[in-house]
A and B are shown apart, each in its own frame.
Chain A
Amino acid sequence: MSVTYIDAIREAQETLLREDPRVFLYGQDIAAFGGAFKATKGLAEMFPDRVLDAPISEDAMAGLAIGAALQGMRPIIEMQFADFSSIAFNQIVNHAATHFYRTGMPVPITVRLPSGGTAGSGPFHSQSMEAIYAHYPGVVVVTPATVADAYSMLIESVNLDDPVIFCEHKFLYRWLKAKSFQGDGLPIGKARITRMGRHATVVTYSAMVHEAVRAAERLQKESGWEIEVVDLRSVKPLDIDTVLASVARTGRLLALGEAFPWGGVTAEVVSRVVADGFHLLEAPPMRLNSRDTPVPYHPKLWAAHRPTPESICDSLRKLLSY
């Protein structure tokens, strides 16, 4: 018996709806249809007043969530794909994110973004938006990589008083399995050492945690290198203490992400490690991201656009040979 990453997201929402009358779900095709990815399957039958279909209006969906949150509710809105949240960008970063600082009244909304690439999804159903939202003050951005984190961090997100962008990776939805939803109980804002190592640190998040672990296992088998993998879990707040402690042990850093290479989370990690831990480094820190093009449609192009265990191993070999 096993549960998947998407089961965790569905189960967390059921738990929230059952235990907290302030919670409601709003999104396109999420009620009777159960959502494009079935993350809300069966929930509308159980909670017919609180699982509502939205028109194709991402701006108004986010605005509605903000207004409801100001009246004491805890809305979860599902963007059908993270890519479409660009339409809601104004409401999220200008309305929700500024509200606590401006007025002293927080806006507890959770925006679920089905994120990241899958084979054949193309430029508009594959994006990773975490860095764009994290850039703005007042937004929490979480990027769970495990089944247990998907479950516990969604519940924690809804219980936070601040707006949360919940980046759930579509590639992990059905592929990633676990025995249960129970995890180690780490809170949002704390990174996890997913794999211990001595020779280099890979700092990553979301689906790339699993690619990094594959690369680490391969290098260990091939050459005996012991690679440490740090899962950031949330990109904002960014747990730079755990990252620096790891770099202090290994002396080498590869910041890995699936998002586009200009700026972003990997650049933030490298700049902070260089600024705060230059003396810890035995080699120039490296970054590995997707290529600087839109996410391509064909699986052969897509597989070469995003980091893979092969390209991660190549980067690590360069890092280790410096």
Chain B
Amino acid sequence: MTDHTSITSQRTGADYVRAMYCAMIQARMLENKLSSLYKAGKIVGGVYLGKGQEAVSAALGSALIPGRDIFAPLIRDQAGRTAFGEPFIDCARAYLGSVLGPMRGRDGNIHRGRPREGMLAMISHLGSAVSVVAGSLLAKRLQGHLPGTVGATCVGDGATSTGAFHEGLNLAAVEKLPLVVIVANNQFAYSTPTSRQYACEDLVDRAKGYGVTGHSVDGTDFLACAGVIGNAVSLARAGGGPQLVVARLLRLSGHGEHDDGSYVPDSVKAGIYGRDCIDVAEQQLLEFQIMSAEEIAAIRETAAVEVQAAVAQAQQEPVPDPYLEDWRAFSSELSQPQS
């Protein structure tokens, strides 16, 4: 993640929204490619897309400072990962099972990360990263590195029902840590609608109960995401304590590519959150003259080439060899590591 090491302060203004848009397009193109590869039977395991959630994810990832901040992305955060500096090849290698990837074939798809560089490798148990990011921030406090640092993670509406989410957010509030938790309320946890997930009027109302600052945003509105999520990260960075952002949107894919999402009613798809945040982004960038049509076209063209190159490279790389695998779950030289 060397491309972004020159960033020493949080992006603002046009730089910030340009970075967001680039990450959104790159993520969408990468994920479209993954979807095609899945349908062609080239992927090891499942494919999970962030289609429709790119504005929220990129607004978070682009507001973070690689090398300083902590980021725990979840299942639909390709855009945030890209914005935080994850190279395409990490994603391609994880999905295609290359032994050269960060997970070396021992784990795959979205369960990847670069924890040494501050990007955690998610596990499948929802909400569990909230306290882990809080712990990373507590460590920085003990080490004297906390001022100016932010930790962030994303969850969906479903994860807000877990004990881990509650325990983690409460703990972060007690310790007044600079934690940003984004809830991408995409209206469905796999197939379960929010009416079967929670009974409160709006998830953001829970912020008061935790003693944290709450924010709401239309997750399909590119510039609104930039404003609200960028501000939440700034507030945390400035010492304002934990921030809970609830973004309303709609998942524009199935839970994974094995799922056609046919349980989503047409009326919901036709509603305001059914619009594509990338279409909204391009309209807004042109309308406010932040980018020109030529610039947008060039970003798309470059992203397409880079995605193609990353996938082609990963496809040519070796897969893991069980005879070369060390089969060690312990790092320590214990007297009988296999026992």
- Establish whether residues A162 and B332, one from each chain, have CB atoms under 8 Å apart when the complex forms: yes
- Establish whether residues A94 and B135, one from each chain, have CB atoms under 8 Å apart when the complex forms: no
Residue A67, interface by CB 8 Å: yes
Residue B128, interface by CB 8 Å: yes
Q: How far is the CB of A255 from chain B (nearest CB, A)?
A: 15
- Establish whether residues B335 and A239, one from each chain, have CB atoms under 8 Å apart when the complex forms: yes
- Establish whether residues B339 and A90, one from each chain, have CB atoms under 8 Å apart when the complex forms: no
Q: How far is the CA of A241 from the CA of B336 in the complex (A)?
A: 10
Residue A138, interface by CB 8 Å: yes
Residues of chain B within 8 A of A98, CB atoms compared: 123, 329
Measured CB to CB, the nearest residue on chain B to A50 is: B142
Scan A77-106; emit 1 where CB is below 8 A from any B CB, else 0.
Answer: 000000000010011001101111111111
- Establish whether residues A90 and B335, one from each chain, have CB atoms under 8 Å apart when the complex forms: no
Residue B35, interface by CB 8 Å: no
Interface residues of B in 95-137 (CB under 8 A from A): 102-104, 106-107, 111, 113, 115-116, 120-121, 123-125, 128-137
Q: How far is the CA of A69 from the CA of B143 in the complex (A)?
A: 12
How many contacting A-B pairs (Cβ < 8 A)? 160
Scan A153-170; emit 1 where CB is below 8 A from any B CB, else 0.
Answer: 000000011100000000
Q: Do A189 and B334 contact each other (CB < 8 Å), given the known contacts A64-B135, A98-B123?
A: yes
Residues of chain B within 8 A of A121, CB atoms compared: none
Residue A73, interface by CB 8 Å: yes
- Establish whether residues A63 and B142, one from each chain, have CB atoms under 8 Å apart when the complex forms: no
- Establish whether residues B331 and A60, one from each chain, have CB atoms under 8 Å apart when the complex forms: no
Q: How far is the CA of A268 from the CA of B120 in the complex (A)?
A: 35
Q: How far is the CA of A160 from the CA of B334 in the complex (A)?
A: 9
- Establish whether residues B139 and A60, one from each chain, have CB atoms under 8 Å apart when the complex forms: no
Residues of chain B within 8 A of A58, CB atoms compared: 167
- Establish whether residues A240 and B336, one from each chain, have CB atoms under 8 Å apart when the complex forms: yes
Q: How far is the CB of B147 from chain A (nearest CB, A)?
A: 15
Residue B328, interface by CB 8 Å: yes
Residue B337, interface by CB 8 Å: yes
- Establish whether residues B339 and A237, one from each chain, have CB atoms under 8 Å apart when the complex forms: yes
Binds A, one of B168-176, B240-248, B253-261: B168-176
Q: Do A63 and B139 contact each other (CB < 8 Å), given the known contacts A103-B103, A189-B336?
A: no
Scan A90-134; emit 1 where CB is below 8 A from any B CB, else 0.
Answer: 110011011111111110000000000000000000000000000
Partner of B167 from A59, A66, A71 at Cβ < 8 Å: A59
Residue A270, interface by CB 8 Å: no
- Establish whether residues A68 and B102, one from each chain, have CB atoms under 8 Å apart when the complex forms: no
Q: Which of A60, A101, A187 has the most CB of B within 10 A?
A: A60
- Establish whether residues A70 and B136, one from each chain, have CB atoms under 8 Å apart when the complex forms: yes
- Establish whether residues A238 and B138, one from each chain, have CB atoms under 8 Å apart when the complex forms: no
- Establish whether residues B336 and A63, one from each chain, have CB atoms under 8 Å apart when the complex forms: no
- Establish whether residues A236 and B339, one from each chain, have CB atoms under 8 Å apart when the complex forms: yes
- Establish whether residues B139 and A72, one from each chain, have CB atoms under 8 Å apart when the complex forms: yes
Scan B203-238; emit 1 where CB is below 8 A from any A CB, else 0.
Answer: 000000000000000000000000000000000000
- Establish whether residues A95 and B330, one from each chain, have CB atoms under 8 Å apart when the complex forms: no
Q: How far is the CB of B273 from chain A (nearest CB, A)?
A: 31
Residue B320, interface by CB 8 Å: no
Measured CB to CB, the nearest residue on chain B to A137 is: B329
Interface size (B, Cβ < 8 Å)? 47
Q: How far is the CB of B196 from chain A (nearest CB, A)?
A: 23
Measured CB to CB, the nearest residue on chain A to B114 is: A103
Residue A203, interface by CB 8 Å: no
- Establish whether residues A99 and B121, one from each chain, have CB atoms under 8 Å apart when the complex forms: yes
Residues of chain B within 8 A of A104, CB atoms compared: 104
- Establish whether residues A63 and B335, one from each chain, have CB atoms under 8 Å apart when the complex forms: no
Q: How far is the CA of A101 from the CA of B103 in the complex (A)?
A: 9
Interface residues of B in 304-339 (CB under 8 A from A): 328-332, 334-337, 339
Residue B45, interface by CB 8 Å: no
Q: How far is the CA of A90 from the CA of B337 in the complex (A)?
A: 23
Q: How far is the CA of A94 from the CA of B137 in the complex (A)?
A: 21
Q: Do A101 and B115 contact each other (CB < 8 Å), given the known contacts A65-B135, A73-B142, A90-B128?
A: no
Residues of chain B within 8 A of A138, CB atoms compared: 329-330
Q: Which of B121, B142, B336 has the most CB of A within 10 A?
A: B142
Q: How far is the CA of A6 from the CA of B195 in the complex (A)?
A: 51
Residue B140, interface by CB 8 Å: yes
Residues of chain B within 8 A of A101, CB atoms compared: 106, 328-329
Partner of B330 from A64, A69, A100 at Cβ < 8 Å: A100
Residue A188, interface by CB 8 Å: yes
Q: How far is the CB of A67 from chain B (nearest CB, A)?
A: 3
Residue A311, interface by CB 8 Å: no
Q: Do A95 and B339 contact each other (CB < 8 Å), given the known contacts A70-B120, A162-B332?
A: no
Q: How far is the CA of A188 from the CA of B332 in the complex (A)?
A: 11
Residue B46, interface by CB 8 Å: no
Q: How far is the CA of A161 from the CA of B329 in the complex (A)?
A: 12
Q: How far is the CA of A190 from the CA of B130 in the complex (A)?
A: 37
Q: How far is the CA of A160 from the CA of B332 in the complex (A)?
A: 7
Q: How far is the CA of A72 from the CA of B138 in the complex (A)?
A: 11
Q: How far is the CA of A33 from the CA of B230 in the complex (A)?
A: 41
Residue A315, interface by CB 8 Å: no
- Establish whether residues A66 and B125, one from each chain, have CB atoms under 8 Å apart when the complex forms: no
Residues of chain B within 8 A of A68, CB atoms compared: 135-136, 138-139, 142
Partner of A70 from B115, B128, B164, B335 at Cβ < 8 Å: B115
Q: How far is the CB of B301 from chain A (nearest CB, A)?
A: 34
Interface residues of A in 22-72 (CB under 8 A from B): 24, 49-50, 54-55, 57-72
Scan B138-173; emit 1 where CB is below 8 A from any A CB, else 0.
Answer: 111011000000000000000000011001101100
Please name the 4 residue pairs, one residue from A and one from B, whose CB atoms are nearest each other, closest first. Answer: A67-B135, A63-B131, A64-B135, A189-B335
15 contacts between A and B (CB under 8 A): A24-B142, A59-B163, A63-B167, A64-B131, A66-B132, A68-B135, A68-B139, A71-B140, A138-B329, A140-B332, A162-B334, A188-B335, A189-B336, A190-B335, A241-B336
Taking A59-B128, A63-B164, A95-B125 as known contacts, 4 extra A-B pairs with beta carbons closer than 8 A to each other, sorted by chain A number, are: A91-B132, A101-B328, A138-B329, A140-B334
